[in-house]
């Protein structure tokens, strides 16, 4: 993988990103989180295009249901509608940077801009907001997964993260069909698998930006499809995935870090007018 990845390392990334929003619930209200997210992302000075990956089993919404934006919005009707399809190497991605988003992610335009600014300095890594960690459970003699708020982390979830589009090619072409099939069967763990892949390539941890404990919209849309995060088996599945992935990689590739990058003067007791990303502190 390291030889293949040579095309990424040492090359200055193009100064824009393409956002991919993974949609799995039907559009029934103009107040749904996905529409708020679309507007916020499209306002970013670095965004060139937003792709809505429609992995919902309901028909595509009419064009007028989507808000008007300053950048093009492309809706792709996923044929297989499986979780791994969010990491396909779509020809419609014109930029090096991909901003990967879940439909119920809560991010402001300022937060998007800051994350992308950080990513430009670390284009080989995953850069984003929701952090998670792994640990060795000596009692069970297996790897564990935790979402507890701690001082370190080893994963940044792809529900709100930026990474190089080359990882789409590695995810699709290098990883075995058995691992991708497990992800698709469970509709879970795709973010963990992507973190395993990136850390295996770089031998480095991802990068978390700014303190943000909540990145999911709490308002539940009234649909017949419940959120996968509400599934009681969701956490157990992720524990199992950790060990199956580690087994295939032959070791644990994830690397711990306690570094968090914040804007200059973040939370400093100075005038808010002196801060470039001042809106972040008001969230």
Q: Which residues are catalytic?
A: 191
Q: 3-state class of 38 per DSSP?
A: helix
Do 74 and 92 contact (CB within 8 A), yes or no? Answer: yes
Reduced to 3 states (helix: H, G, I; strand: E, B; else coil), residue 208 is strand
SS3 236: helix
d(CA 248, CA 192): 14
Rounded Cα distance, 272 and 43, in Å: 22
Rounded-to-integer distance, Cα 264 and Cα 124, Å: 23
Cβ atoms of 101 and 22 closer than 8 Å:
yes
């Amino acid at each position: 993988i390291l030889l293949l990845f040579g095309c990424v390392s040492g090359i200055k990334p193009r100064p824009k990103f393409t956002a991919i929003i993974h949609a799995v619930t039907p559009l029934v209200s103009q107040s749904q989180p996905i529409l708020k997210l679309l507007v916020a992302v499209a306002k970013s000075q670095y965004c060139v295009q937003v792709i809505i990956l429609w992995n919902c089993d309901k028909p595509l919404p009419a064009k007028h249901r989507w808000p008007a934006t300053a950048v093009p919005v492309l809706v792709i009707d996923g044929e297989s509608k499986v979780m791994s399809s969010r990491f396909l190497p779509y020809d419609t991605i014109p930029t090096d940077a991909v901003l990967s988003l879940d439909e119920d992610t809560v991010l402001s335009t300022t937060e998007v801009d800051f994350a992308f600014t950080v990513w430009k300095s670390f284009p080989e890594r995953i850069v984003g907001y929701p952090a998670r960690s792994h640990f060795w459970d000596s009692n069970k003699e297996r790897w564990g997964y935790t979402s507890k708020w701690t001082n370190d982390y080893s994963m940044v979830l792809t529900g709100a993260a930026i990474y190089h589009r080359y990882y789409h090619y590695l995810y699709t072409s290098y990883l075995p069909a058995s691992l991708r099939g497990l992800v698709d069967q469970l509709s879970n763990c795709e973010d963990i698998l992507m973190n395993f892949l990136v850390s295996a390539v770089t031998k480095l941890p991802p990068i978390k930006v700014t303190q943000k404990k909540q990145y999911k919209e709490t308002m539940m849309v009234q649909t017949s499809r419940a959120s996968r995060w509400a599934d009681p088996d969701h956490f157990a599945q992720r524990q199992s995935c950790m060990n199956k992935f580690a087994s295939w990689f032959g070791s644990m590739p994830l690397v711990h870090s306690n570094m968090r990058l914040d804007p200059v003067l973040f939370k400093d007791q100075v005038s808010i007018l002196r801060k470039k990303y001042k809106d972040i502190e008001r969230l």
